[in-house]
Each structure stands twice: as structure tokens, then as C-alpha cells.
A and B are shown apart, each in its own frame.
Chain A
Amino acid sequence: MTDLSNPVPSTPPRSQWLNVWDQFKTHKGALWGGIIFLLIITTVFLGPYFWSLEATHIDIRARNQGPSLSHPFGTDQLGRDTFARMMAGGRTSVSVGLAAMLLALFLGSFVGVVAGFFKRLDGPLMRLTDLFLALPLLPLLLVMMMLFRDPLNAAFGPERGIFILIVGAIGITSWMPTARIVRSDVLALKEREFVLAARSIGTTNTRMITRHILPNVLSPIMVSATLGIATAIITESALSFLGLGFPPDFPTWGRLLFDATDYLQQYPERVFWPGMAISLTVLSVNYLGDGLRDALDPRIRGR
């Protein structure tokens, strides 16, 4: 007999996500990474509403200034406010990172779930993944930029066209790790009893995937999402840095860094801000992913 003197549990029931949050909090690096990443996102997206200077406003008399109260990061060779340009650039860089990550995540989870769940498709889809992994990605990305830039610019306008191109190119070249991880998890899940039970009451395949498989592979997907943002931001900056990304007057962090290298001798501090922004964002996202991996792993959690 169980002890009936206290039939009502003294502690309220805890959801799984509360446990995850408790574990996440113990990882100091991840907590700080998350805070800094949120801070960067809010500054970049909400900052322009509070900062009166436009990123494209040219004030030629105030050019090449150092940091001051009105221009905390100084101004560039045309007198544009570097702080405003950093926020505008960050908006593009972070949006590209998020959008490319979502695309890669969707493709990767789709391929992974389908390959793991349907035995017939496993072989071909995994061979496809292997072939994609053998492609030289950076050269191919550069080639894609060169070839499809003009037609897409003509179709969607210079900024949106290149945005679609960069997001698409990064998305379809970075889904493979997610697909592999998701597939291996799905393969293991398929042998579990709850899937057998669901099967025995006549659950259809679609229902099985959306209701039983997907929620259970959520944690590897979330971890690769954070790491995906980091790689996407770095790739976008690399393309812009090589002069094959966004057009010159359209700021992104990579583009700002590229423009600043021309003034390396005179104003070396100018390369510092965009480079720091890229590195800090990627570092915080990497720490966030590290902590999420620990927090979402039930074997580590609660120890």
C-alpha cells in the first residue's frame, strides 16, 4: 500500500519544458549566450525605431569621424552613421540566418523523417545526402551567386532577389547534417513500443509522423537549428565579404567588413564593429546550442 497520509502531492506537477529550463539555467555559458543573442536581435530589429539617424542618410561634412555622442560608432567615408548601418546590416544578416536556417531545417527534417520512416526510400535518400555532402559547398555557392544573381534581381528587385538567392543557396546546401541526425533518431523511435501501440489501433502514416515521431525528434532539430543560424550567418558574411553577396549600398555585416578593409590603413577601428557583431552573434548562438543540447538530453537532465 502506498502512504495515504498525504494523498495530495505537495509539489505541483512539473511539465517537461520546466525541467528543460531548469537544466538550461545551470549552463552559465548557454544562459549568457541566449541573453546576448536576444539582446542582439532586439537591438537590430527594434533599434531603428529609437535611433533617429537613417542608415542611408549621407552627411558628407561629418565623414570619417571617430566615436562621439551623436555617432557612437563613428561615421564612414560618406558621413553615414555607422551605428545605424550596423543595425540595418544586422537586420539583413540575422534575417538571412534565420530564413536560411528554417529552409535547411525544413528540408533536413523532411528528408530525415521520410528516410527513417519509409524503409524503401531510406537507401536512395541517404545516397543523395552523401552526394550532397561530397559537393564543394563554398565554390558552388559562389558559382550560384554569379549565375543566378541577375535574373533574380530582374524578377524580384535587387534587394529581394539577392535575399531569395542567398537564403535558397544556403538552405539547399546545409540541410544534410540535420537529415542524418533526424533519420538516425527516427530509426530508433520506430522500434519503440508506443509506436507499435499507435500502429495497433490503426494510426495512419501521416498521423503517426505528425503526432508521434515529430514531437520526439524535436530536440535534435532544435539543436541543429541553433547551429544552423551560426553557419548561415557566417556563410552570408563570407559571400558578402568576397563581393558576391548583397549590392554595395545595401549594408550587411559582411559587406560592412568588406568595405571597411579598404580603409584598413587609415581607420583600422572600422573593421572592428561588424567583425565583432558577427563573431559575438555566432559565439552566443554556439553556446546556446551547446546548452540546449545538454538541456534537451534526458540522460543528462536531472543530474
Chain B
Amino acid sequence: MDSVRKEHPDTKLLELLVCPLTYAPLTYDAEKGELISEKARLAFPVRDGIPIMLVSEARQLEDKAPGSAG
């Protein structure tokens, strides 16, 4: 039996998951273990393979450098 804990959310789920504020798609930052909503500038944590899609738990991303492509 496969007893390995999933380190990242399943890709088939990622197809459905969107940002709860903007409904925009998310990208997964494997290094930080976060799901990034570019539009809302929020990073949602993933703990024990469970994405935590609560705005209250999300990390606010710093503003982009001026002039960078949006």
C-alpha cells in the first residue's frame, strides 16, 4: 500500500482549483509549497497535501517592481 504522504496537491485537483476571490487560475510554487493567485496577489499555503484556500490564511505577496510585466 502506498503510504507516502503527498507533498503537493494532485494535478487533477489543480485543474479545478481557482482563487476564491478572483476565480483566476493558480500556479503552484513547489519551493514554498504555496498556491499563487497572481491577480489577487495572494499565496495560499498547502499543508500535508491540503490546500488552504482561506483568504485569512493566505500570505499577501509584495507588490511587483514598477515596470514589470503584469
A and B interact physically: no
Could you tell me which B residues sit within 8 Å of A by CB distance?
none
